[in-house]
Structure 1
Amino acid sequence: MTGLPAGRSVQVKVPATSANLGPGFDTLGLALSLYDDLEVTVRDEPGAFVDVIGVGQGEVPTDASNLVVRTIAHTFGVFGQPVPGLHLVARNAIPHGRGMGSSGAAIVAGIMAAKGLLDGIVDIDSDDLLRIATDLEGHPDNVAPALFGGLTIAWTGVTGPRHKKLMVHRGVSPLVCVPQSTMSTELARSLQPENVSRADAIFNVSRSSLLIAALIQSPELLLDATEDKLHQSYRASAMQETGDLIELLRSHGHAAVVSGAGPSILVLGSDPGQRAEAAELVAEHATTPWQSLMLAVDFKGATVIAHPAEALA
């Protein structure tokens, strides 16, 4: 086991994500150009201290119970390495509890930080990254796009979680409409039935298959391709305005879906003009404040840059 020198640091950048994308429940995810930035530095003193700037400031823990810190510690433990004292500076932009993958981003940030700090000591490959992230998050649909970028299909095979990254058609223009209210992923999942009909299952298989084609080749099919019968209607009672706005947007031809567990709305425009029209509709008809984020698809995923201690001397 090798102790890390004080002053060694890493910089990590992780994108927001939107999972499910309508019919692709627990399978499809998209990385978006909104980022949490993290700087982690090894200290002489034991323990962890976290400075949070932006989203979550004054709300999330700033000690060893912080999710990023716990993830770093877990990843070090997986590879049998002692955890050094740490100072974290987290500059967060991803909204919490809004269906944009904030918890997945925190987990990915911690794993990538550990990877950078252990560079040259332990080799952590992409399979390790996805396996550890899925173990901590519980399912891979958010952490896969956060790690690898683009559109990802995630599944669990005999060797563990796997993913396939696909490039998105350049015309696809994401819009995320974010309300002030939050939504618990656990609550959202509790509203779904344990079993669904054969007809609904077939419906979603057809739409999720079509959605892949729409996103990578034929954006004009996005409205039909984002229909869903597995989860959104069951969750609507817990986020009434989200459901009402999605119905309004879809009636005007916009491919609107619940982003992740909600309550944010993801609109997959086929061009920037269509996206702007969707944002105007939300502004005109929402009864509570909503923020419209006109984002791009992030194709890089999480990144880490390591700085050895001597470089900071």
Structure 2
Amino acid sequence: MDRWTAEGALERIERYRVTSSHMVPTMFNRLLQLPDEVRERHDVSSLRSMVHAAAPCPIETKRRMIEWWGDSIWEYYAATEGGGTSVSAAEWMDRPGTVGKAWPGCAVIVVDEDGNDLPPGESGTVYMKMPGAVFEYKGDEAKTAASRLRDFFTVGDVGYLDAGGYLFLNDRANDMIIVGGVNVYPAEIEGELVQHPAVGDAAVFGVPNPDTGEEIKAVVELLEGWEPGDATTGAILEWLRDRIGRQKLPRSIDYTTEMPRDPNGKLYKRKLRDPYWEGHDRAI
């Protein structure tokens, strides 16, 4: 396809009897937003391995995809620098939200601010290692050194391990919003937003607030048939109130016609966030 579309993907899976491919959560959301009669029209029984990665996948989105595509759904979490985790559909259904266990030969740890290993269930910075994977950031010794802990490295993600060694991610540390001293992770809010029938895509981040330091801003790309305005904003926020804690509710919602994503689905959140911080000394 010259440009990926949800119905176009289903048509090609059926026509070419596709067995394996790679998607990102935004594509899953687009597929699930299709009318039932469109989804049921296409035969996807040829699928054996549909791998997804690159961004957090909302729990409800993934559960619905597994109910539709079954054991073909696989997920991995990894970094170019080396190492990672993976999880099958069956494992994920037993532990909703996990990104899996470390690959064979790899190791994953979660540490506190002082570099001490944390017990299961406590969130901290995620570090990984893969034997033989040695790297440095070109021309940036300071960044290389800051990413290292013993023989492990981090890309700045925050998460926790359960008692079975399965990794759960909260969010990127640099995406975390601090509202009056409370840490808020945008991924959870974004995951709920995209379940609303008006929302095609969503991004959540912190913007300046003189009293609390930051406040929560949502930017939404609406589906066809919905118009931006107070009525739509009110409907979305009212719906969110029953799904997330009060302290996580966005203070406001702005609208865009298209999210700044690369062809692989990666969201350039900075392009949305930076204009709100113009004229301020720094982004918290």
With the shorter chain as reference, the TM-score category is under 0.3
By relative contact order (CA 8 Å, sep 6+), the higher-ranking structure is: 1
TM-score by length of 2: 0.28
**Structure with greater helix percent:** 1
Task: State the TM-score, normalized to the length of structure 1.
Answer: 0.26
